[in-house]
Amino acid sequence: MLQIGVIGAGRIGQVHIRGICSGVPHAHIRGIAAPHITETVEALANNAGAEVLTQDFRALLRDPKIDAVLICSPTDTHADISVEALAAGKHVFCEKPVDLGLVKIQTVIDAVEASGLKYQVGFNRRFDHNFQALRRTVADGRIGQVHMVKICSRDSEPPTARFIPSSGGLFLDMSVHDLDMARYLSGSEVDEVYAAGSVLVDEAIGRAGDVDTAAILLKLRSGALALIDNSRQAVYGYDQRAEVFGSLGCVSIGNDAPSTAVLSTAAGITAEKPLWFFLERYLPAFQEEVRQFIDAIENDYPVPVGIQDAREATLLAMACARSAREGRPVSMAEFR
């Protein structure tokens, strides 16, 4: 039984605590650290049978019984806590993004390499049942050689303009997931990006210096091409689809809906909208990624998505931002 410490018990921390309780074998939540210990957190700790409940995350790092920590604290603390946790000899699962800047990501890379410990990054979408089915189909060769990857990723609701400055912008905040997915689905690195952005959803986002609508064209090292489209708003619900074309066919995935109900009336044939909230859509994925993290520790497997993947996705997002800003294709060689 691996002993787990969870650092941060906000929305995503609670998702992980519940997920581990209900279905991650060989993992026990020994400790939870949260700056404010609310009633909800206390109930969760009780339910989980957690022995330690503390406001000081370092108490978990010092606890010799704890094997691994999940870092679910605010983004700007991810890198520093990662380094501390690795120094304390803990395996680390860190929510994404590890950091918005390359310098801090590099300190984590160095710390991971020095430690020999497992370090997994929370690119949850790789563990979604739909994206896994897509990847598996491609990896099994069922569509032959990959020719093109298409990813559609649209948020149900735009963030407030106030959030924009700290977000890193659409490419680093949203597209980064899709850029990671393009690498994951194709099994190829990216050589060049061309990105275009527009402000069509909310002018305040434009005034904050960002775009809310984007299209990206990637040239992959394999010769394949990839297309990504993003929007900060999809009024019909969180829209996360993808399609991969190859020499033997194509495979596509659609959205999950609350039910399969279809209503036929004089007004038309109407199905349910996609799940609205990303936590709802990806709930099982949050459990699955931790399950595989535990597996990787127990069996000394490589983690399914590591710090280099995080760095690569960040570089690609930065290249997209530069491409959109300068109106030209950007070679990844500029970043290497």
Interaction pattern, residues 264-303, with a second copy; x per rule: CB under 8 A: xxxxxxxxxxx-----------------------------
204 binds a second copy (CB under 8 A): no
Judged by beta carbon, residue 239 or residue 309, the one nearer a second copy is 239
Phi-psi bin for 169: left (phi > 0), alpha (psi -120 to 50), beta? left
Confirm or reject binding of residue 80 to a second copy (CB under 8 A).
no
Query: CB of 32: closest distance to a second copy in angstroms?
Result: 15
Residue of 9, 253, 307, 321 interacting with a second copy (CB under 8 A):
253
In a 3-state reduction of DSSP, which class is residue 107?
helix
| 231: contact with a second copy by CB under 8 A | yes
38 binds a second copy (CB under 8 A): no
Q: Give yes or no for residue 322 binding a second copy (CB under 8 A).
A: no
Determine the 3-state secondary structure of 114 from DSSP: helix
Lookup: tokens for 54: 């503390």
Q: Tell me if 258 contacts a second copy by CB under 8 A.
A: yes
Residue 78 vs 219, nearer CB to a second copy:
219
Q: How far apart are CA 330 and CA 323, in angstroms?
A: 6
- Say whether residue 52 binds a second copy (CB under 8 A): no
Can you list the alpha helix ranges (DSSP code H) found in 188-282?
A: 203-207, 278-281
**260 near a second copy, rule: CB under 8 A:** yes
Residue type, 243: E
Which residue from 132, 157, 158, 167 is in contact with a second copy, where contact means CB under 8 A?
132
Q: Is residue 229 within the footprint of a second copy (CB under 8 A)?
A: yes
Is the C-alpha dihedral spanning 130, 132, 134, 140 positive or negative?
negative
By CB under 8 A, what part of segment 148-167 binds a second copy? 148, 150, 152, 154
Judged by CB under 8 A, does residue 227 bind a second copy? yes
Cα Rg of the chain (Å, integer):
20
According to CB under 8 A, which one of 12, 37, 52, 200 is a site residue for a second copy? Answer: 200
Q: Which residues partner with 240 through β-bridges?
A: 153
Dmax over CA atoms of the chain, in Å, equals 66
Q: Pick the stretch among 3-11, 77-85, 119-127, 214-222 that binds a second copy (CB under 8 A).
A: 214-222
CB of 221 vs a second copy, minimal distance in Å:
12
Start-end of H helices in the chain: 11-23, 39-48, 57-62, 78-87, 102-115, 129-139, 164-167, 170, 176-186, 203-207, 278-281, 283-299, 307-326
User: What type of residue is 83?
Assistant: V
